[in-house]
Amino acid sequence: MRSIALVSDTHIPSQADELPDFAEVEIEDADIVVHAGDFDSTDAYEAIRDLADEDFVAVSGNADPTQIGLPRVDSLWVEDVQFVVTHGNGSLDNYDERVVSAVKDARDDPDAIGMCGHTHELRDRRVDGVRLLNPGSATGADPADSASLLLVDVDGSEVSVEARWR
């Protein structure tokens, strides 16, 4: 079994000074860390990358500086499961459709799971046959009600998801 800490929308320093302690602990303890965009600064990217150690996947969000050089979409296989990661930049009006389209365009497996950010809304739902995981904002950046992340455990082809928030 492998564990993933899925975080997004940290917005450091524009909306938060640092990650909450619980988020740091979960990032350090996870086998793999995925950040779905909007670090907000190179310093935040480097700090989270360093907490994550070696297995770290990150994509660019609309609030990220271009010098970080992250892709807009990336994918990873964990055991028998493919995950496609994208921030979901753009209007919230067609957010789900845009993210589902990005997942479908990038996937090799029709059962791939989407990991996304942008809305600051913690959710795990199916849209047009695609499971979308959004960890909310790891720092509770506005408009989030609280700081949150998702812990994803993968055992073969089985996936379990647990929300953590403060």
CATH (residue range 2-165): 3.60.21.10
Cis upstream peptide for 20 (omega within 30°): no
Please tell me the predicted confidence (pLDDT) of residue 5. Answer: 98
Instruction: Give the end-to-end CA distance of the chain in Å, rounded to a whole number.
Output: 26
Q: What is the pLDDT of residue 41?
A: 97
- Given a contact cutoff of 8 angstroms between Cβ atoms, the answer to whether 19 and 52 are in contact is no
pTM value > 0.85: yes
Q: Which residues of the chain have pLDDT under 50?
A: none
